[in-house]
Amino acid sequence: MLGGTFLVAVLRNCMSAGLMLFFFLMLDRPKLSMKKTVFCYIGYYLMIVISFSMWYFFDAASFVKFAAFLSIVFICIFCTFMSSDGIYLSLYKISISFYLFSVCISCGVDVARWLFDSNVWADILVRFIMVLLILLVTFCRVRKPFLEGVDFLIEEMDYFIISLVFITTYSGTVMAYWPNMQEFSIFNVSRTIYIFSIVGVFQYAVFRMYVHLGREHYYKGEKELLEVNEQLLTNQLEIVRKSEEEASRVRHDIRHHCLLMEEYIRNNDMEKLLAYLKQYREDIESTQVKRICRHVAAGSILSVYESRAKENGIAVTMDIKLGKSIPIRDIDLVAILANVFENAIHGCIHSDAEQKEIKINIDQKGNKVVIQFINTCAKDIKFHNGMPISKYGSGIGVKSIMKAVSNYHGETDFEVSDGMFITRILMNYPTK
């Protein structure tokens, strides 16, 4: 707006492109490694600065009119391509960076016109200071809390709110830059401050609201998982209680067993004695709590559902290879195993097969936990977007599985093959 030489235009382009690109990068989770990402950003930064500077060199009039608004298009395409956060969140971050870019331009121009008689170097200095402050504050104060809440934004944001944020930011900037309102005056400066203040407050309110909603839904999900765990632990305690009662009964009857064995010995009836001892040993072993694996939470939940499956005439075979302690929360592991096992039981119950069975394999490989359930199922199971559609329940179980697995950047796969429903789950955890 204040004009200037080609060198001045280059400096402005360097600051503007640097602010938008590197502000986005600090709030982003890129697809590539950080080293490759920084290299790509620097390369694109140089390309866009050179391109826009050449545009100014050949047609300064059109550059002044359209450069600010076209810059967001080119930077949006690049940043969205480089990000792993999805289109909605990328557009949101782009709108914030464009808003800050617009604020820097307005402040630089108005301060230069107000205090320095429209000196272009004053404009450059003010922009430079503001860009440094914004990037410094973003890195030191904003980056960490933003990245901590970014998953909530991804879950909650939708097309409508992103469109609203984008339109609001773009409209506010257009109003601030309206050609016939650029004449310097207290009214125009006040109007610009008011517009940018409203847009800034709106963007901050959107961020706070959706992070709050995301956390509320997260805590609600945690509450549901805790309720499931409480019920499962209650079932497990009931099984332990019954086992202890049976063990007490056996101990109470031991005097009678000893008397009978003494009678066999006195009569020298070794065959009956051996048969009785074998029967007695089997009775003792049946009262012991079965230990499925070293991991207490996994073993407990599998034991509960194994008993439930056998009550329904379903054969269960398990091969569990889990350590005593793994870097996966018990609440998540229990939610996954309980929901998959329960779905497997329902699948067997509603199948027409005479022999109903569930096969379970759980293994640790490196920093991964691999879970596979294979169960008898009905023939008419349907899928939508790779997920089975439940005809007998609400489908919340599958969603709970997907939610828990996503906490560990894992993968789920559901398949029907030869009358058997196969559930495969892969979870990753950081190595120490």
Give residue 49's pLDDT: 92
Give residue 394's pLDDT: 47
Give residue 178's pLDDT: 53
* Contact by Cβ (8 Å): 397, 343: yes
Residue-wise pLDDT for 383-416, tens only, equals: 777 778 766 554 556 777 887 888 888 889 998 8
Instruction: Give the position of tokens 């999900």.
Output: 221
Residue ranges of domains in the chain, CATH in brackets: 6-211 (no CATH), 291-428 (3.30.565.10)
Give residue 51's pLDDT: 92
CB environment 114-125: b (16+ within 10 A), e (fewer): eeeeeebebbbe
C-alpha span between 16 and 97 (Å, rounded): 10
Contacts (Cβ under 8 Å, ≥6 apart) of 165:
91, 92, 95, 202, 203, 206
Nearest to 165 by CA among 115, 203, 119: 203
Give residue 287's pLDDT: 53
Give residue 180's pLDDT: 47
The three-point CA angle 126-1-49 to 5° equals: 75
Residues of the chain with pLDDT under 50: 179-181, 394
Give residue 174's pLDDT: 67
C-alpha span between 218 and 297 (Å, rounded): 22
> 0.85 exceeded by the pTM?
no
Question: How far is residue 114 CA from its own chain's centroid?
Answer: 48
